[in-house]
């Protein structure tokens, strides 16, 4: 579980553990939160371990995959929720901020996807993360959406490159979801306005997104090379 200490990542880690999977909870700078996720899984009778690493560093990610294989005997599911979102109109976006998103969202997805392609066992699944903003096309999200467009391209092509391996490759594209990343800096009025835009008239929850991940990681074996928009009908 890459990015397993975040709002969506931690919910997905717990959900997969509830399905009986042993989980490696990856974290970058949130050791305490990652260990809390591990503790909640083990207290519920599951198996989990926290492992640090820079998602865009191929050596550190290789060590994470090594740890998963050594601890649990192999890798069947890779879920990559790691990502950052920096917002500004295109004309005002600092190139340094754009480069940061490219490194984490694009290079990080490439590094993890490459390792998954090499190490997933037959019957396995890779689940990357995009965003429903690629459909909504909201102002100030241009640079962020561009990184997620790259994620979608890599995901869909990799699914076809793994022909004959019995490995599925998909992406989940959440809509507005009540995580600290999404809520940070938004007024209550704006949050209510965004929630009202969905036909279900609420924000998504991390558990909503975790259900989509569990489907693609488990029973959804005939879903391959797709982007699943988990957004309550907002787009």
For residue 20, the 8-state DSSP code is T
CA dihedral 210, 211, 212, 213 (to 10 degrees): 50
- Provide the greatest CA pair distance for the chain: 51
Tokens at 70, concatenated: 């050594």
Q: Which ranges in the chain belong to alpha helices (H)?
A: 7-18, 31-43, 58-72, 95-101, 108-119, 133-136, 142-161, 180-183, 188-197, 206-217
Active-site annotation, residues: 144
User: How far is the CA of 81 from the CAs of 18, 45, 95, in angstroms?
Assistant: 18, 24, 23
For 80, phi and psi rounded to 5 degrees? -115, 95
Closest CA relative to residue 48, chosen from 21, 69, 11: 21
Q: How far apart are CA 70 and CA 46, in angstroms?
A: 18
CA dihedral 187, 5, 30, 1 (to 10 degrees): -140
Q: Quick count: other Cβ atoms within 10 Å of Cβ 11?
A: 23
Tokens at 174, concatenated: 């959440």
């Amino acid at each position: 579980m890459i990015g397993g200490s975040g709002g969506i990542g931690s919910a997905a880690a717990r959900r997969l553990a509830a399905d009986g999977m042993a989980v490696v909870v990856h974290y970058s700078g949130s050791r305490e939160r990652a260990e809390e996720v591990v503790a909640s899984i083990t207290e519920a009778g599951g198996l989990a371990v926290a492992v640090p690493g820079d998602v865009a560093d191929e050596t550190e990610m290789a060590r994470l995959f090594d740890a998963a294989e050594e601890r649990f005997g192999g890798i069947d599911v890779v879920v990559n929720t790691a990502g950052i979102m920096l917002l500004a109109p295109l004309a005002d976006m600092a190139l340094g901020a754009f480069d940061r998103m490219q490194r984490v969202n694009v290079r990080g997805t490439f590094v993890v996807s490459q390792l998954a392609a090499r190490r997933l066992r037959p019957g396995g699944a890779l689940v990357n993360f995009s965003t429903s903003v690629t459909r909504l096309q909201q102002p100030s999200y241009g640079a962020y959406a561009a990184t997620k467009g790259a994620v979608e391209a890599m995901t869909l092509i990799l699914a076809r490159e793994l022909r004959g391996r019995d490995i599925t490759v998909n992406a989940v594209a959440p809509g507005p979801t009540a995580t600290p990343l999404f809520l940070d800096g938004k007024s209550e009025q704006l949050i209510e306005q965004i929630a009202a835009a969905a036909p279900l008239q609420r924000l998504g929850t991390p558990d909503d997104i975790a259900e989509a991940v569990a489907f693609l990681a488990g029973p959804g074996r005939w879903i391959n090379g797709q982007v699943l928009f988990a957004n309550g009908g907002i787009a």
